[in-house]
Amino acid sequence: MKRTTISDIARAAGVSETSVSLVLTGRPNRISFAIQEKIKETAKALSYVPNSFARGLATKKSNTIGLIVPDIENWYFASLSKSISFEAEKEGYMVLLLNSNDSHDLSVKQINTLLERNVDGLILVVPNGSYHQKNMKELKSVLSSLSIPYVLSDRDFPDFKANKVYYDNIEGGYLATKLLLQSKHKKIACITGPSDTFSSIQRLVGYKKALEEFHIPFNDSLVEEGDYRLQSGFASAVKLLKKDFDSLFCFNDMMAFGAILALKNHDISVPDDVSVVGYDDNIMSSLSGSELATINQDPSRLAKETVSLLLDALSNPSQTEEEIKLKPSLVERNSVKKI
């Protein structure tokens, strides 16, 4: 079936193609109300479907936002992506979602791909691979050269001025560790994220802050490095079994699930033998056999603040960059035993 064009509408309505284009794109014009209505009725009768790509070329606006997340299989980023799409679509924007797999090189390539697709703005969750010194310098250079507004969401780049929205990871690490300390645990092991990433560094600072407040010496041998994936939680917990600990703080829920599985495989009961706290408040945290105490950083709130900040930047590109730090909250469940 032949697609209806502006020329078809102009012929059927007895007006110029310019008049049709002005009316159907909503651009300012001096066309009478009666003629405008005639054009719209003719377009409807001919089942006209606007060519959004062509319109984007003409107006230099595509009404699309690029979104790059590090791991779409991770519940948190899946939920964040869904919420960002919901918030953007309410404002008339479509979201193009790409998964970087936490790769620096792929993330840089994807930024260029989205620019080629003429996106109006960009939301980026910095991949863990970009926190290496050389990669960090390159990504900062790429972002600084962008001609479109962008927002860094969930993960921050320290000492880099940009629009940012993220949760306070120090506070989250502190709250998680404090829960275990208040429950009278004293040998608190932890499974971190990659050691050079912003969120992991900050959560470890919070962990140490709580230990210091309760006069518990920091014990480096009780710290294992993970990668935020379930398998690394399992492997790290197996290593910790050689150590003396009574509780475990995992820097995300996925690693906590892996750690709990490893403990159960070695006949260690949660929370009777070892208490466990996670981070993110994954939907599975309240559904598992041992409901997981965790830190909630609401992805829907993060999405709303992120999209709002990007839309502000789109409407006023010259405005000063803004940094928004959100407060996480503690969710107490039965994976922690009070001694």
CATH number at residue 38: 1.10.260.40
**3 state DSSP class of 108:** helix
* Residue 316 located in a structural domain: yes
* Residue 56 located in a structural domain: no
Residues 6+ apart with CB under 8 A from 319: 312, 313
What percent of the chain is predicted at pLDDT more than 70? 94
Element (H, E) at 247: strand 247-250
Looking at the structure, do residues 100 and 219 belong to the same domain, yes or no?
no
CATH number at residue 241: 3.40.50.2300
Looking at the structure, do residues 109 and 197 belong to the same domain, yes or no?
no
Looking at the structure, do residues 255 and 304 belong to the same domain, yes or no?
no
CA–CA gap between residue 153 and residue 69 (Å, rounded): 9
pLDDT digits (tens, 9 = 90+) for 100-137: 999 999 999 999 999 888 899 999 999 999 998 889 99
What percent of the chain is predicted at pLDDT more than 90? 71
Enter the tokens of residue 154. Answer: 């969930």
Looking at the structure, do residues 320 and 290 belong to the same domain, yes or no?
no
What is the reported pLDDT for 27? 65
Please state the domain count of the chain: 3
pTM of the model: 0.79
Looking at the structure, do residues 94 and 162 belong to the same domain, yes or no?
yes
Closest CA to 225 of 188, 260, 194: 194
Does the pLDDT at position 256 exceed 80?
yes
**Residue-number span of the structural domain to which 12 is assigned:** 6-50
Looking at the structure, do residues 158 and 238 belong to the same domain, yes or no?
no
Count CA atoms within 13 Å of residue 245 on its CB side. 30
Bridge partners of 14, per DSSP, are none
Q: Is 277 left (phi over 0), alpha (psi -120 to 50) or beta?
A: beta
**3 state DSSP class of 171:** helix
pLDDT digits (tens, 9 = 90+) for 214-251: 999 999 999 999 999 999 999 999 999 999 999 999 99
pLDDT digits (tens, 9 = 90+) for 40-77: 999 888 888 776 555 555 556 789 999 999 999 888 99
Enter the tokens of residue 95. Answer: 């979201």
Closest CA to 173 of 79, 278, 283: 278
Does the pLDDT at position 161 exceed 90?
yes
* Residue 332 located in a structural domain: no
Last residue of a domain, one of 260, 276, 297: 297
Looking at the structure, do residues 282 and 242 belong to the same domain, yes or no?
yes
Closest CA to 255 of 236, 239, 269, 281: 236
Looking at the structure, do residues 156 and 224 belong to the same domain, yes or no?
no
* Residue 293 located in a structural domain: yes
* Residue 190 located in a structural domain: yes
Residue 74: how many other CB atoms lie within 10 Å:
20
Looking at the structure, do residues 185 and 279 belong to the same domain, yes or no?
yes
* Residue 276 located in a structural domain: yes
Does the pLDDT at position 282 exceed 90?
no
* Residue 22 located in a structural domain: yes
**3 state DSSP class of 16:** coil
* Residue 175 located in a structural domain: yes
Looking at the structure, do residues 29 and 68 belong to the same domain, yes or no?
no
What is the reported pLDDT for 236? 98
Looking at the structure, do residues 213 and 185 belong to the same domain, yes or no?
yes
Looking at the structure, do residues 227 and 270 belong to the same domain, yes or no?
yes
Does the pLDDT at position 18 exceed 80?
no
Closest CA to 154 of 302, 328, 307: 302
pLDDT digits (tens, 9 = 90+) for 171-210: 999 999 999 999 999 999 999 999 988 899 999 999 999 9
